[in-house]
Amino acid sequence: MKKIVLTANDDRGLDGAMSMHFGHCTHFVLASVDADNQVTSTEVHANPYAERHEPGQIPEFIKGLGADVVVAGGMGGKALQWFEQLGVQVVTGARSGVGETLDAYLAGAVSGVSECNHEH
């Protein structure tokens, strides 16, 4: 079982909108995926650090959810480093919808990382 966390702008789960900025998303969607890349369950978690956070708090929170992978629109270098230290794979370059992004990731159409180049 693989656990994939996606950044979201709302609490609508797979029907929601992706957040393009990792550190300011309001919610995380946790999808459990089986060996056949079938989604077996989803959970929505409010981001307790959406308004204000210190480096490492959000990656630690996501790791605490049991995440193997985090998918976001974009992510800064510090967060990338935290996730690497925690052993969580990062994928950036999301689509507009959470479900659409998850489907694209599972199909191999969303992969790799590009760092945000604005101030964090």
pLDDT of residue 112: 83
For residue 116, pLDDT over 70 is answered with no
pLDDT of residue 53: 66
Phi and psi of 79, rounded to 5°?
Answer: -65, -40
pLDDT tens figures, 21-47: 888 899 999 999 999 999 999 999 999
Beta strands in the chain (DSSP E): 2-8, 27-33, 39-46, 69-72, 89-92
pLDDT of residue 120: 41
What average pLDDT does the segment 58-83 reach?
A: 93
pLDDT of residue 115: 54
Q: What percent of the chain has pLDDT over 70?
A: 93
What average pLDDT does the segment 104-108 reach?
A: 94
Asked whether the whole model's pTM tops 0.85, one would answer: yes
The topology (CATH level 3) of 2-107 is Nucleotidyltransferase; domain 5 (3.30.420)
- Contact between residue 30 and residue 11 where contact means Cβ atoms under 8 Å apart: no
Q: In which residue are the tokens 């550190």 written?
A: 23
